[in-house]
Amino acid sequence: MPSVIGVVAVILFILYVVLPLIFRYSPAFQRQLVFLPYTIGLRWPIAVNYSQPELHGLSGTRNFYMPTEPKISVGVWHILPGNLTDKSFKTTEESLACGNPVVLYLHGNSGSRATGHRVELYKLLKSLNYHVISFDYRGFADSSNVVMSENGAVTDATRVYQYIRKFSGKSKVIVWGHSLGTAVGTKMVAQLCAVNQPPDGLILESPFNNISDVFRNHPLTLLYRPLSVVDRFFTERLQSNNVAFDSDVHIAGVECPTLILHARDDPIVPVFLTKKLYEAGLKSRPAEWSPLQMVEFHEDLNCAHEYICRVPQLPSIIEEFLAG
C-alpha cells in the first residue's frame, strides 16, 4: 500500500505543479474554468426542459433560439411583464413595443438561464411589469456547443440586444449583468455607446474590476498565494486567451446611467474589487455623462453572491433608477 507521505506528495504535485501548468499552457482549460459550463464532462445543468419554462413557475414565457453568428445560436427566454401575461400576442416582437421596460439579463458563469436565483430575479422583474430577455451564451445549456471566449459572449449579447432594440420602439431597454455577466455587459455597452446605440441603463450586480484580480483573491487560489505564482500561472495569459474581462477599462466608455449593486458578504467577489470598478468609473467617465451609482447591501441581509434579488428594498431601488 502507498504510504501516507507518498499520497500527500502526489496530491501536492498535482496541486502545485500539474494544475498550474495546465492552466497556464491550455487556453481551453483556462476558458473552461472561467466560464464553467460543464460539470464532470456534462453540460450543466442536465435534464432541463428549456422549452417549458412554466415548469420553473414562469408563466407567460416563450422559449426560442436566435442566431448570433453563422452556425451559432443561443437559447432565449422571453418573460412577459405581469400586466401582459394574460394578453394574447402573435409574436414576441409585438409585445416588446407595448411600452413596458425591457431587461436584457446577462448571467454569470456556470448554470443556465434556468438556475434558481436567476429565476427568482425574473419573477421579481415580472412583478414590476418589466419584460425579461434572458439567454445562454454559446457553450452553455442548449445554445451552440462551440468554443467560448470573451468576444464570443459579447457578440451573443450584442445580437440579442439588437433584436430587442429592433422591436422595442420607445420602451426603455436596460442591460442587467450578474457576476461574469457584468463584464460581458460592460464591454458590450461601451461598444454600443461608441456607435451611439446605448441602452437606457446598465445595472451591474456583484461585479468585479477585472478577472485577473478575481483570480488573485478567489478562495480557490489561496493555496498558491504564499508561493507568489498566481500571476505567473493563472493571470498572465488571460488577455491573450481572450478571457481578460477588464471592466475597469471598458467602463470608461459607458455613457449611459449605471447602477452597481453589491453585497458586503459576497464570498466570491470581495466588495473591494467592486469598489475598484466604481472608482475606475468615477475617474475615467466625463463629469457631464449620466450618473454612476453604487449601492452596498449589509451583511445582515445574507445576500452573498447570488441573492440580492431577495432584498426588500430592491424594487424601489430599480424603479428609482429607471425613473432617473
Q: Is residue 305 annotated as part of the catalytic site, yes or no?
A: yes
Q: Is residue 142 annotated as part of the catalytic site, yes or no?
A: no
> Which residue is catalytic, options 213, 246, 248, 266?
266
Count of Cβ atoms closer than 10 Å to residue 118 Cβ: 23
**Would you say 80 and 53 are in contact if contact means Cβ atoms under 8 Å apart?**
no
> Which residue is catalytic, options 112, 134, 149, 179?
179
Q: How far apart are CA 112 and CA 118, in angstroms?
A: 9
> Which residue is catalytic, options 107, 250, 262, 305?
305
- Whole-Å CA distances, 260 to 210, 296, 298: 15, 8, 15
Q: What is the greatest pairwise CA distance in the chain?
A: 72
Count of Cβ atoms closer than 10 Å to residue 101 Cβ: 21
- Whole-Å CA distances, 6 to 26, 117, 280: 28, 43, 48
Q: Which three-class secondary structure state does DSSP give residue 263? A: strand
Q: E-assigned strands of 181-238?
A: 201-205
Q: How far apart are CA 292 and CA 186, in angstroms?
A: 13
Say how far residue 184 (Cα) sits from the centre of its chain.
6
Q: Is residue 284 annotated as part of the catalytic site, yes or no?
A: no
- Whole-Å CA distances, 53 to 91, 108, 117, 123, 259: 17, 19, 15, 12, 29
Residues in the chain: 324
Three-point CA angle 144, 148, 154, nearest 5°: 95
Active-site residues: which are they? 179, 266, 305
